[in-house]
Structure 1
Amino acid sequence: MMTFQQKMITAFLLFVLLPIMILGYISNRISTDTLQKTISSQTVQTLRAVDSNVMTALNEVHHFSDYLLSSGDLQSFLMSHEEESIIDLYNRRQAIAGIMYDNAEVERILLYSWSGELLYQSNDRNESEWSLSSKAFMEEMKQAAGAPVWLGPSPEAKHPFQRESGFQLIHGRLINDVNTLDPIGYMVLSIKLEVLDDIFASSGPIPSTELLVNNKGEIIYSVNRKWIGRRMDTASFEKVRSSEDGYMLDQWNGEKSLLTFRPSDFKLSGNENVWLVSIKPWDALSGDIDYIRNTTVVLGLFAILAAVLFNFLYLRRIAGFIQLMSRKMKEAEKGDLSVRMRAYPLKELNGLSNRFNEMIRRIGELILQIKTEEEKSRQAEFKVLQQQINPHFLYNTLESINALAAMNGQKDISNMTINLGRLLRISINGKYEVSISQEINHVKSYLEIQQIRFEHLFTYSIEVEDTMMNELVLKLILQPLVENSINHAFHEEKKGCIHIIGTRNGSTGYFYVQDTGKGFPRNVLERLYEKRDGTGKNGHGIRNVHERLQLYYGNRYGMVICSSEKGTTIKVSFPLAERDG
């Protein structure tokens, strides 16, 4: 289970560091996407301009080839090739060569008959190498009906016009008779790639590479000729080919780059599409984004450092204070009010510590005050109960003495006077407890007096264990019970017996007061059991005895009453000192 200190530091990291990292990540993503979109949007505009310039350069080649096709020397050369003399044929060849030299971007001219036989070439290579062997190219020039057909550079020499010295664009057209418009042959021009170099040269502050890519993902033009023929990554090219304008981040030449692309108006043989692709190194573009990322990382590290310092300089003190206070409070809950918090250098913690100590001190004082007041209240109540001696008993006794005196019964008068004196001595005694032997003597005196008064209406017996005689017991607990039996259990027609038994069980003593009287009525017994109350005439009564026992000894002790038509038994329990054996 995590400690309070660990919970606090975890919460700090979650609610402070984590939002910083998430905010930095989101800011970096938004900045990256925005930068990509902005740069790519600008690059697409640039590619449109590049494409326009490419088409302008290629249209100049178209215009040049139009001029060649309409040249009288070229027309005459193709239509009268076999009939002219060697001198005329030589002169026409020289005229054609002169036309080619007017355009420095054209590297060579190839002229073919309608059947595909090579009739003229502007260099000295073997004629068989320049035969128009590509039937597909011938058919496409026928279908174009005089419109230009282009072949891109082929590093694998897939067409016969590729030279070992470098890459060229191949421009082919069907030649028609200017008078009859009947096809009379084919013209193939080999165009130097330098015609596009000025267009694709990068002059911006950010290094950039622009490419022409064919429908197979092969690069057909690049200022860096080493890249011509290289294939783009399949997944990347599929995205290029499936979109009009777009951009993506991808690896290029071993580094992360932003690729922006758009389709070109330039078409290759077979109406093959060509794409313009601009490649910019991402590191050169993302300087500001890297700054945001690095700033986020620095802020994260700073937050971690702040968390560590916060933990050592402040959090540990607070956590230690809270844990110590929690431990002290648990000790106080168990009743130890001597606990105190120590002083702390932090003003707030020291204030809490002092208030805790003051609270515990005040609680101790209040508990002591309550105990004192409760003790005083208990003693006062006990004194009131203790002093509730029934005055009617004294009145009745005096009346009996008076009656006996009138009858001159000196012996009975003497006995009653002696027993009355014993009763008064114990009752007036200010001590709460007396020995069991004194309590027994007290109840004997009371019984003797009552036997004389009621003319031996009852008999009694007392059996108490000798080991109990010197033990202390609350005084005046047996006399009210015996009085209850005498007053309510017997009647003149039937005499009864009162039997008092005293026993012990370990540290608990028991008195049993039994009588053979008529017992309590059920409703009176229920009321007695609920309230421990006596009858209306028994003000001192059973409730007095029960309440005094519980006030003095606690709720564990008191009385239990059992009654029937055959008699009543009252059980009294009270504490005794432990005895070994």
Structure 2
Amino acid sequence: MWSKLKNIQTILFSTYTLIIIVVFTILVAWVYLWVSGLIKKNATDSLVNVGQSMQDQIDSEIRKMNDVSLNVMYSNLVKNQFRKYLTDLEKLPQKPVEGLQQPVTLPGASANSVQSAKELAEILTAAMGPSRAAEQIYLYDFNSKVYGNGFDNGERSYDPNTAPWFQAVMSTQGKYITIPVEDEEMSKFISSREKQYSLSLFRQFYDNYNVPIGIVEVKQYYNRIFKSVLSFVKQRAYEENVLVFDDVGQIIYPLKADRSLYDPYIRQLGEGQPSAESAYESFRNPVTGDRELLSNHRSDLTGWNTVVIVSEKKLLAPLADFTRKTLFVAVGILLFAMLLSFVAAKKITFPIYRILRTVRNIRLDDLGSGRIASQELNSGLNELDQLHDAFLNMSSRLRQSMDELLLSQSQEVQSRLIALQSQMNPHFLYNTLATISVMAEENMNEQIVSMSENMSDILRYISSDLSVVELQTEILHTRKYLEVNEIRHGKKLVYSFEIDEPLTRVMIPKLVVQPLVENSLKFATRQEPPWHIRISGFAEDNAWRVTVSDNGPGFSPESLRKLREQIDETYLTNVTPVLQLGGMGLLNIFIRMRLTYGSESVFLFRNLPDGGAEITIGGPMERGERHEER
């Protein structure tokens, strides 16, 4: 696969494409970063501006309430009239009520109290102003009396001990703002069936001697104070959420909020309270796992934090849309540029492919023929036309040497087989004559006669012109060899043959089993008898196997290493080593098996666990059958 990627067209195309991709990527990346920076900045600036605008409008409503409370607080008319109104109330008949520290005024007000209430109402109405900066004003004394002006007019009683705001107001010198509460009284004056919520701003007010004489409460509808927030949430473009909480972590907006959903934001933003300036930060929502942008604005007037919460993904949706469009356009331009580079590369390499097709389709009979010489390239590229002409000249010369080369290779293989086989002859003669010499010294005449007859048969077998024989023939002469050695060693030598019947007709190279037996006997006799030689043959997966084993000392580590290295080198280089005369033995057998069967040959050797060595040779049975047919 990798070689296919190394052709000229691929290299040219890859080079052109790489240049285009690098230049185009740098350009697109620069444009993308620049535009995305602008989009992100505009998006975050818009988020900050929206949050600041909502905080300003909330502050504006609270400031109006605060101004009303200050108008009442510093108005001598209000103070004097409220004091006069309370004095007139004290003159009315009163009745104690269980649970209240102060008695309740009975119905039937005097003309003075009515006039005082009317004048107080006019003053309070003037304090609220024509724009109704507050919907309701209440004036409280410290003795359970309260007077209201707005939608709820008139006097009533209250219990300071049960009023939830009383202690907080008394403990502060400035204003005190409550959290939103459901207001049943103010709900009566709204046509909507929904429950109305209100916020109250409390202040103590003092006489001319700076002595507290009462408390003023300025009340406004919750919907009016948070009108900008409600309007923003209703028409939010990115599903933004708004959170308003005070310094102690009480949630002002939204109403009836699930505390668990907003606690992470309160903890995050409450660790370092920002100043009146806006604070912008990124935040990972622990509930959803989404990245979110927070625009936090803290009011010095109320101490409230107004937080606009929006998902980064949704806020930066225009950036994502720009990214998709940019990638689409970039891919289109890139594909077009790659197409141009492909056309240019093909223009250059097409003539080369024509030459390549000619080379691939050429046959031996075509070399030097007029059919090849008549082909013209006409590529328009001088270098390629010259290459084509050189190929034509080469083909005419190649035909002249092809037959000689094929003949030479055939003769070389045959010569190597004959040479390897011939190496076995002097090797066997040497060992056998040495044995006869020893027997003659011991006057073993009858054994010498028997051995000579067997040796004659063996020599006749060795010197025959056959290169392959039936397995049963190889086994027969191997048995004669063992009988020759049995004459000399007697009962010290024990041997056995276990050959499956189907293998007897299999054709194998001559002299591959007998040398293995000779090698086993040679090393087995180096230790105390008896010496066991076992020859077994069996069929396995349509292949023949012959194993020769002994109970000798086995291969030495050095012999195993050297033989393995020589065999591995042959497998690795696919070149058989050249043997010198006298270099026969196991490697000789391996080479002849390799030359006969190629990669299907089997040559295995090992030391047995209980001592001794084992060598297995083999090859495909089909090939033996073909030899038999010849």
TM-score class, shorter: 0.3 to 0.5
- Give TM-score scaled by structure 2 length: 0.42
- Give TM-score scaled by structure 1 length: 0.45
The higher radius of gyration belongs to: 1
